[in-house]
Structure 1
């Protein structure tokens, strides 16, 4: 008899095991190839077409009214040197110290995503010598995105759009009233009920003197204990920043604090009175807010905010805000 082929009884089992191993490996590769879903960053949002048209309409209304007042559209970079905001907005402000997206780029430069538009527009005004233009004052209009690493909450995002207007070379109080009037007309056309809050923070010497009064007021332990931890720090570094606090305890503490308007110079007071007279003449309703200072260091004299009114008459945040900054251009080298 011929020899039967020798059959290795273990071979089929071995082949089966290899097949299963390949299947397992293949499944693992497939699993690894499936990409993890990438979603938007915290505090950011997508604006889809159905919603975008509303924002587009708001911007179109604002730009049309601004152009009617002689403002011309301009553009500035989204990235600027960190020093631009440190010098203008102020190192101790929340915008620069807590909220600004700043980093060192591959050229080893300290750069920042713009947290606000005014410093960039002032830089552009100086850098391009717009103060030499025959037509003065210079009126600039800008629309774009700003970036702040704020705590995400309803209605507040870390990237947001803003329409910004700047008027350079006009010292008259009529300029203040004109900007406030523009804001009022924009909101009126959009059908938004908003109250204009206004104050004067005087000039640099006035604010220095008032800061001393404020520090003296908070020496009272019964009042000081109401301040939040952050506001106690602000009181030491920049006392006026306490006025801008939204903390409930701090707001209670401020109820009996001295008012800025009582500590400004006669010149600043006369300027403010003229602004109010112009607003009366233009039929613009307003409310005096003695503790309104805005959150940025470069403002002087007139500051204002438009706050939408809730059904109960309460304020629902700020829609429009601004003020005068007479010394900023010179301070920035212009």
Structure 2
């Protein structure tokens, strides 16, 4: 029996991978414009990092982590999200001492969660995210949200909905927490075991339960917005004012609860409203986490960020029928006739590549017609034909595949002559 790919993973093949490369390049360019620098962290970390940062009441920690014991008896986990690793690196490398503050970082790489595979959702997925650490200015909340929205728009998406909420500061969250406990406690036995466990530990997570989302108490649960103190209200109003100034439309949803325990103040999600996208509409989620750095051993440091699945983004592109404006063209394809010509094209191919051009040749000794078909398949801009007759006069025939024009170039200065044609 042939070995097959693990469930919940995927092979990204040529023809499809170019879409990924386009999105990744756009993300990189956007981050450069917004002055975010790339960070690369390990794929696995000590399990304790995620227990302390993501939260032991979350579905990620309780049900979805890929954890193992290494040969030294240490508990390790394949990273389920990117923020915790960035926070750990921020502390370990003393980035809080950098002259330029806030520290603005981005990452792009594989994450791992053991969950039921479905359209656009995998057990190994690629997450792009940004983190801004060291500022509690609401303007940077708006900046982070605008960066995420910009990337989706660069991908051609139009059916987008931004939903925001405030989880308030610690004082506001504590008041809301007490109100939630009072609300759910008399009938908590009617809820699932997860919700029952969360009642005392983190009752806010009950609102995010998928099993009990239709329970009547969910609709009447006290809203966090009713418990925001004056400082939290002003902060949230400022974020909204900045988004409005940037021309970014949004909706305030007091029921929005992010799935991680370290959020406070601003929380947001970007959703796709495209027809046929699926039941799970969330593309991206993020928010402010002013207590995370302290929780895992660092100094008091405010932060905000988001994470987005590239798979989900591409699924939304497909649902909208958007076309990513990337080109996959070969600069030159060499067609050779005869053994000597074949040997010479090996040399010319290398020279052209060294000069910075993409180039290819036939390696299967095909007939000239089949070689031209191969040039069409790789979308070659030019085809350079070299046979015995051309070799005798030290020439090579170059055809522009778009215009049909042909020119003879001297073999001795082929690269420089080709450069004039191509550029």
- Partner residue in 1 for 2:10: 45
Cα contact 1:224–1:253 (8 A) shared by 2: no
Aligned: 1:216 with 2:166: no
Question: Aligned equivalents of 2:94 and 2:9: distance in 1?
Answer: 36
Question: Aligned equivalents of 2:145 and 2:259: distance in 1?
Answer: 18
- Pick closer, same or farther for the CA change 1:254–1:96 going to 2, 3 Å: same
The counterpart of 1:189, out of the listed 154, 157, 169, is 154
Cα contact 1:99–1:150 (8 A) shared by 2: yes
C-alpha displacement at 1:203, in angstroms? 1.8
The counterpart of 1:275, out of the listed 239, 243, 259, is 239
> Per the alignment, in what secondary structure is the counterpart of residue 161 of structure 1?
strand
Aligned: 1:293 with 2:254: no
- Partner residue in 2 for 1:15: none
Cα contact 2:166–2:267 (8 A) shared by 1: yes
- Partner residue in 2 for 1:101: 66
Question: Aligned equivalents of 2:12 and 2:278: distance in 1?
Answer: 28
- Pick closer, same or farther for the CA change 1:113–1:312 going to 2, 3 Å: closer
* Runs (5+) with no aligned partner, structure 2: 299-423
Q: Which has the higher contact order (CA 8 A, sep 6+)?
A: 1
Cα contact 1:307–1:315 (8 A) shared by 2: no
Cα contact 2:53–2:84 (8 A) shared by 1: yes
- Partner residue in 1 for 2:341: none
Cα contact 2:162–2:251 (8 A) shared by 1: yes
- Partner residue in 1 for 2:35: 70
C-alpha displacement at 1:235, in angstroms? 2.9
CA RMSD of the aligned region, Å?
2.0
After TM superposition, the structure 1 stretch with the greater mean CA deviation from structure 2, 59-68 or 106-115, is 59-68
- Partner residue in 1 for 2:381: none
C-alpha displacement at 1:312, in angstroms? 8.6
The counterpart of 1:121, out of the listed 86, 101, 107, is 86
- Pick closer, same or farther for the CA change 1:194–1:257 going to 2, 3 Å: same
C-alpha displacement at 1:238, in angstroms? 2.0
> Per the alignment, in what secondary structure is the counterpart of residue 57 of structure 2?
coil
- Partner residue in 2 for 1:201: 167
C-alpha displacement at 1:153, in angstroms? 1.8
- Partner residue in 2 for 1:110: 75
- Partner residue in 1 for 2:218: 254
- Pick closer, same or farther for the CA change 1:95–1:313 going to 2, 3 Å: closer
Aligned: 1:54 with 2:19: yes
> Per the alignment, in what secondary structure is the counterpart of residue 15 of structure 2?
helix
Aligned: 1:177 with 2:142: yes
Aligned: 1:139 with 2:139: no
Cα contact 1:298–1:328 (8 A) shared by 2: yes
C-alpha displacement at 1:64, in angstroms? 1.2
Bigger Rg, structure 1 or 2: 1
Question: Aligned equivalents of 2:234 and 2:226: distance in 1?
Answer: 13
Question: Aligned equivalents of 1:175 and 1:101: distance in 2?
Answer: 33
The counterpart of 2:269, out of the listed 305, 313, 318, is 305
Q: Per-residue CA shift, 1:69-120, capped at 9, x if unaligned?
A: 0001110000100011111111121111110111110011100100011011
- Pick closer, same or farther for the CA change 1:68–1:328 going to 2, 3 Å: same
* Runs (5+) with no aligned partner, structure 1: 1-35
Q: Which runs of 4+ in 1 moved over 6 A?
A: 312-315
Question: Aligned equivalents of 1:312 and 1:39: distance in 2?
Answer: 29
Question: Aligned equivalents of 1:172 and 1:182: distance in 2?
Answer: 16
Question: Aligned equivalents of 1:205 and 1:300: distance in 2?
Answer: 11
Q: Which has the higher strand share?
A: 2
- Partner residue in 1 for 2:356: none
After TM superposition, the structure 1 stretch with the greater mean CA deviation from structure 2, 227-236 or 76-85, is 227-236
- Pick closer, same or farther for the CA change 1:304–1:73 going to 2, 3 Å: same
C-alpha displacement at 1:287, in angstroms? 0.6
Question: Aligned equivalents of 2:232 and 2:295: distance in 1?
Answer: 20
- Pick closer, same or farther for the CA change 1:42–1:311 going to 2, 3 Å: closer
- Partner residue in 2 for 1:14: none
C-alpha displacement at 1:314, in angstroms? 9.0
State TM-score, norm by structure 2: 0.67
Question: Aligned equivalents of 1:162 and 1:181: distance in 2?
Answer: 18
- Partner residue in 2 for 1:153: 118
